[in-house]
Amino acid sequence: MTRTPSGNTRPIEATIRTDFRGAMDYGSYLGLDEILSAQHPVSDPAHHDELLFIIQHQTTELWLKLVVHELRAVRQYLDGDDLSRALKGLARVKHIQRTITEQWSVLATLTPSEYAEFRDTLGQASGFQSHQYRAVEFLLGNKNAAMLQVFRDKPAVHDQLALLLSEPTVYDAFLHLLARRGHAVPQDVLDRDVTQAWTERPELVTVFKTIYEHPHDHWELYAACEDLVDIEDAFQLWRFRHLRTVQRTIGFKTGTGGSSGVGFLKKALDLTFFPELISVRTEIDGPLGG
């Protein structure tokens, strides 16, 4: 007996649109023609694994674009005393960080032998040249004017980073919010030169100690502090996974952009965004102290 194939087929419902002449469809809305044709392997003939390498970095850049978008909004919400909206933005950033950190596991499937077969074709191209990564660092407090030199041949990018260099960070905005809510943030901290990288201010540990020892009196601020710590931890985890992926792929070779490679990446692990939020943990008194 002949059986009619139906169990493994899903009929198209009559209400589903199939004619998109003159109308916007999924692909055009997302610009998929441009996105899916933006992978251009430079190895000749194209090495099978170069597509993985390109897509890994392109998707990370897309997520970084969203991180920059969200952190700008978080800073704006903090400036406007809308802490609840700021917390929502920080929560979203944390989820993005988790996603881009896990992506390293995909790139880690690229073996040293496979990468060596097309690495030389990359020339001087390097993740060190990611302006969006620098934008995230600037927004969180790792300001470094010397980094602008890398982008001097790209005026639009250079100007974007120069603007972020001159603007307050997310942490600056948070500290100003604390001051407006009556916390004793020193005036010279509020008036600091925001073009400079953040350095730890011990006076702030006392401010955060009050919040951490009385969380129910300062619940939203307490939650914001912990969200910032989460952001820092996630960023450091991303840096560490980057380092380990590079090490397992090229060992201790120099980077394509001219850096010392793994050694240079290790130095980034010493950078911090919100040091007082770590230092305060040593000072907290109460039940959690044991």
Give the pair of three-digit tokens for residue 91: 């929560």
Q: What are the pLDDT digits (tens) for 98-146?
A: 999 999 999 999 999 999 999 999 988 888 899 999 999 999 999 999 9
d(CA 261, CA 255): 5
Residue-level pLDDT at 289: 43
Residue appearing with tokens 């690229």: 110
Residue-level pLDDT at 50: 97
Residue-level pLDDT at 254: 85
* Cβ contacts of 83 within 8 Å, gap of 6 or more: 77, 177, 220, 221, 224
**Does 267 fall in a domain?**
no
Helix ranges restricted to H, 147-260:
155-166, 170-180, 187-190, 202-213, 219-250
Residue 162 buriedness (CB in 10 A; 0-12 / 13-18 / 19+):
middle
- pLDDT average, residue stretch 230-246: 94
Residue-level pLDDT at 264: 84
Residue-level pLDDT at 200: 96
DSSP state of 200: -
- Per the CB < 8 A criterion, the answer to whether 150 and 52 are in contact is no
Give the count of beta carbons closer than 10 Å to the beta carbon of residue 85.
14
**Does 288 fall in a domain?**
no
Binding residues for heme: 242
**Does 158 fall in a domain?**
yes
Q: What are the pLDDT digits (tens) for 8-26?
A: 888 989 998 989 999 999 9
d(CA 38, CA 224): 38
Give the pair of three-digit tokens for residue 207: 């401010």
Binding residues: 53-57, 115, 119, 242, 256
Q: What are the pLDDT digits (tens) for 58-111?
A: 999 999 999 999 999 999 999 999 999 999 999 999 999 999 999 999 999 999
Residue-level pLDDT at 163: 98
Binding residues for substrate: 53-57, 115, 119, 256
**Does 30 fall in a domain?**
no
Q: What is the percent of the chain where pLDDT is above 90? A: 83
Residue-level pLDDT at 213: 95
Give the pair of three-digit tokens for residue 40: 């251009």
Higher pLDDT, 7 or 126: 126
**Does 19 fall in a domain?**
no
Residue-level pLDDT at 54: 97
Residue-level pLDDT at 290: 43
Asked if pLDDT for residue 265 goes beyond 90, the answer is no
Q: Which domain holds residue 146?
A: 49-246+275-282
Residue 6: pLDDT band (50, 70, 90) is: low
**Does 154 fall in a domain?**
yes
Task: Tell me how many domains the chain contains.
Answer: 1
Give the pair of three-digit tokens for residue 139: 């927004």
**Does 90 fall in a domain?**
yes
Residue-level pLDDT at 288: 47
- pLDDT average, residue stretch 189-198: 97
d(CA 202, CA 22): 63
CATH of the domain at 70: 1.20.58.480
The pTM for the full model equals 0.92
**Does 255 fall in a domain?**
no
Asked if pLDDT for residue 4 goes beyond 60, the answer is no
